[in-house]
Structures are given as structure tokens and as C-alpha cells.
Amino acid sequence: MFVPRAILVTGGAGFIGSNFITHFMAANPGCRVVNLDILTYAGNLKNLVGVEKNPDYRFVRGDICNGELVRELLAEERIEAVVHFAAESHVDRSITGPEIFVRTNVLGTQVLLEESRRHWEAKGVERFRFLHVSTDEVYGTLGETGYFTEETPLAPNSPYSASKAGSDLIVRAYYETYGFPALITRCSNNYGPYQFPEKLIPLMIHNIVANKPLPVYGDGRNVRDWLHVKDHSSAIETVLKGGKPGEVFNVGGNNEWFNIDIVQLLCDLLDERLGRPKGESRGLITFVKDRLGHDRRYAISAAKIKRELGWEPSYTFERGIAETVDWYLANGAWVEEVTSGAYRDYYEKQYGGE
Ligand code: NAD
Ligand code: TDX
């Protein structure tokens, strides 16, 4: 098993990166964790409650595209593994502004890879891993049946997923060309605490609480496969420690839902908690124009990670979604902070005001 003594986490102030750091540090005392994050709208140090006091933790505000900074950090901190989360992650934003997606997701990954490769090749770094956190969206869309496996050809449809697929292929090339010890994980849709309320689940919770319309794209019959963020974090740790370099591992919860069913479920859970009459919040559901190039269905086969590394999700959706709703209700101050200012401009552009 590969157990690193110092890791560089990129994008560790975002939704999944912060969850990974929190759980990884608790489970691996003594391992140094350096968090490199530029703090875009999606990065928030308040996602890392308690972590900042740990003497093994260091935060560096900086850009993954800055090769000099990456080089310095890798050498100075004697980094043995890079866990790469940093990205532009929202499909709708990639449709209105694709450029930054190519810069961060493609170029940023290439810069990190190149600096990591040089660091790995330099004397004194015998043990090294580069884990690239990718997504099931690189496989494109499914019809009503079937699953994405690691052999499914890449066929991304949005600028976001195309930029992630581009980065996956560069990671692959570094393994094939240089023998650089890289791994890729491709996970399905995550949910849980600290997710930015531009994504389906936190957006709907936020709007239900605020009594605002719930914008469901198209006919609401698109399917996503939902996994609790903590299970994604545990899968990444499992692959980092046990995965063979050069391999790809799909990660998923075997938990497919139509969007409309998720929205209705959230309405019902919140009616109960807010003391509203049963069915009241469903009245907020509003079907809106479909997302451009909207993928119909994602469904992951996570058979390989289970078979080869013994990983399985620990959350049932029933428990995870209830806990998530309760977390958002108990953390109004966090939601208020991230939905003020620039968020309002985004929301207005995306949904035309209300
Ligand atoms: P997020 O948008 O919440 O966080 C991204 C983080 O990256 C932010 O903290 C941001 O400040 C940072 N960042 C952006 N550009 C940067 C740069 N140039 N330099 C340094 N830091 C930068 O994203 P997330 O939902 O936590 O996703 C994390 C990763 O997981 C992404 O690579 C995403 O593609 C992948 N992923 C996400 C999901 C999901 O459901 N959210 C599913 C599968 C895979
Ligand atoms: O307001 C909305 N209304 C709506 O119907 C929003 C924000 C979304 N949707 C639909 C679109 C999708 O079919 O809900 C589904 C989920 O949408 P998102 O939360 O934006 O997620 P998705 O596009 O599936 O992508 C997510 O999963 C894979 C993450 O954002 C990616 O980073 C990850 O790679």
C-alpha cells in the first residue's frame, strides 16, 4: 500500500476537495497536507472548519497554472502525492463562458503534470502518485439502459466535460509516455454539505427555503447517479493508496434518480422540517428551457473499484439526503455568505431574476 508522507491537494477549498482534506487528515495523522487553491467564487476556506488548526496543514492561495509556484511547493514540502481537484466545475457556467474551463482544467492540469513529473524524476523522490479527479461526464450520455465502464469511449458533450476529458487524456499521455505514476478517478454526481448552491440539490434547497421558483430544465426526466461526497473522498483515498498507476477507476453510488423526483423529494423533506402543509413546496416547481446539449442519463458501473480495491459507498441516499437538508438548514450563515454579491448576478443571468 502506498502511504504518502506529504500531499499537495489542489482545489482543496472547494466542495469535494475540502471534504477530502477534512477526512484524509483525520484518518492519516502525521501526513502533511498542502492545499493549493486560488479561491474562485467556488473556493471558501470556511469549508475547512477545524482543519486550519492542524499543524500538518498549510494553505497556499495560488494558481495551478503557475508552474514556478507549483515547482517550489513540490520541492519545499517534499510532496509524495498530488490529489488534483482544482477545476471549473459547473456545466451551466461552461456554456456561457467556456474559455476559463479550458485554461484551468486543461492547461492547469498540464502545468501540474509537468512540474510533478520533473519533481518525480529528480533525485530523492522515489515514491510518487498523481491522482486526477475526473467525472463520469467525460463518457457523454447514456440511453435508458446501460452503464459507463472504464472502457466506455470518451464522448463529452459540454465545454465542461470536454475540458475534463482533455485533462484526462493528458494525464493518460504522461503515464504512457513517461511512465509517470498517474491515476484517474471518474465519479458520478456528488451531494452533501458545503456544495455551492448553483448545483441542483443545494440550489433547490436554497430556493425552497426562500419560497422561490424551482427551475427544472426540460422535462425533468434527465437521470443522474448521486453519491455522498464523503463516499467520494473515501474512494479517492482508496485509489491513492491501492490503485495501480496508469489505471482508471469509476466511482458511483448505483443510485439513479430523475431530476424531477429529486426536486419533489426535497420539497417534501423541507415541507416537513419547515412546518409547511404537505405538498406546498411542490407548487414552486417551474419547468424552464432545457440546458443546451443536456446529457440525458449518467449511470456508473463501480464494479472495478469494488472488485479490485474493495471500495463501496457507506451512505444510503435516504440518510445522506436527509442529513444534507438538515445541514443546509443549520448553516444559513454559510449559505447567506456564498449567495450574496456575485452569486446574485450569476443567478439573474442564468434564470432571469426570480
Ligand atoms: P468546486 O467548483 O466546488 O471547487 C473547485 C475548487 O478549485 C475551488 O476551490 C476553486 O477555487 C479551485 N480552483 C479553480 N481554479 C483554480 C486554479 N486555477 N488554481 C487553483 N485552484 C483553483 O468543485 P467540486 O465540485 O469540489 O469538484 C472538484 C473536482 O471534482 C473537479 O475537478 C470536478 O471536475 C470533479 N468532480 C466533481 C463532481 C461533482 O459532482 N461536483 C463529480 C465528479 C467529479
Ligand atoms: O437549476 C437547475 N435545474 C436543473 O434541472 C440545475 C442547476 C440543474 N438541473 C439539472 C441539470 C442536470 O440534469 O439537474 C441535473 C444536475 O445538474 P448539476 O447539479 O448542474 O450537475 P451536472 O450537470 O450533472 O454535473 C455535476 O456532476 C458531474 C457536477 O456539476 C460536475 O462537476 C460533475 O462532474
Q: Say if residues 17 and 48 touch (Cβ distance below 8 Å).
A: no
Asked if residue 346 belongs to a domain, the reply is no
Domain of residue 61 covers 6-192+226-255+297-315
Question: Catalytic annotation on 137?
Answer: yes
Pick from 240, 246, 259: nearest CA to 189: 259
- CATH at residue 111: 3.40.50.720
> Could you tell me the pLDDT band of residue 124, with boundaries at 50, 70 and 90?
low
For residue 160, give the C-alpha cell. 465542461
Q: What is the pLDDT of residues 25-74, one digit of tens each?
A: 999 999 999 999 999 999 999 999 999 999 999 999 999 999 999 999 99
In a domain, 265, yes or no: no
Give the cell for residue 128. Answer: 510518487
Whether residue 336 lies in the annotated active site: no
Q: How far is the CA of 22 from the centre of ligand 1 (A)?
A: 16
Query: How many distinct structural domains can be found in the chain?
Result: 1
Average pLDDT over residues 128-140: 98
Residue 289 lies in a domain: no
Mean pLDDT of the chain: 96
Q: For residue 97, how many other CB atoms are within 10 A of its CB?
A: 11
Give ligand 1 pocket residues (Cβ under 6 A).
10-11, 13-17, 36-40, 42-43, 63-65, 85-87, 89, 104, 108, 133, 135, 164, 187, 189-190, 196
User: What is the per-residue pLDDT across 277-333, written as a single tens digit (0 to 9) for each?
Assistant: 999 999 999 999 999 999 999 999 999 999 999 999 999 999 999 999 999 999 999
Terminal-to-terminal C-alpha distance of the chain: 52
Q: Where are the alpha helices (DSSP H) in the chain?
A: 15-27, 67-76, 91-96, 99-101, 108-121, 159-178, 200-209, 229-242, 259-274, 303-309, 317-330, 332-338, 342-351
Interval 89-110 mean pLDDT? 98
Q: How far is CA 68 from CA 116, 119, 190, in A?
A: 12, 12, 32
Measured from the Cα of 137, ligand 1's closest atom is: 43
- Furthest-apart CA pair in the chain: how many Å? 67
Sequence-distant (6+) residues with CB within 8 A of 125 are 78, 80, 119
Q: Is residue 207 part of a domain?
A: no
Does 188 fall in a domain? Answer: yes
Instruction: Give 233 Cα–ligand 1 centroid separation in angstroms.
Output: 13
In a domain, 50, yes or no: yes
The answer to whether the beta carbons of residues 284 and 214 sit under 8 Å apart is yes
**pTM to 2 decimals?**
0.98
Rounded CA-CA distance 74/54 in Å is: 20
Q: What is the pLDDT of residue 24?
A: 98
Indicate the length of the chain as a whole number.
354
| Residue 177: inside a domain | yes
Mutate to test the pocket of ligand 2, among 132, 141, 199, 284 (most ligand atoms within 8 A of CB): 199
- Give tens-digit pLDDT for 202-211: 999 999 999 9
In a domain, 65, yes or no: yes
* 148 pLDDT higher than 60: yes
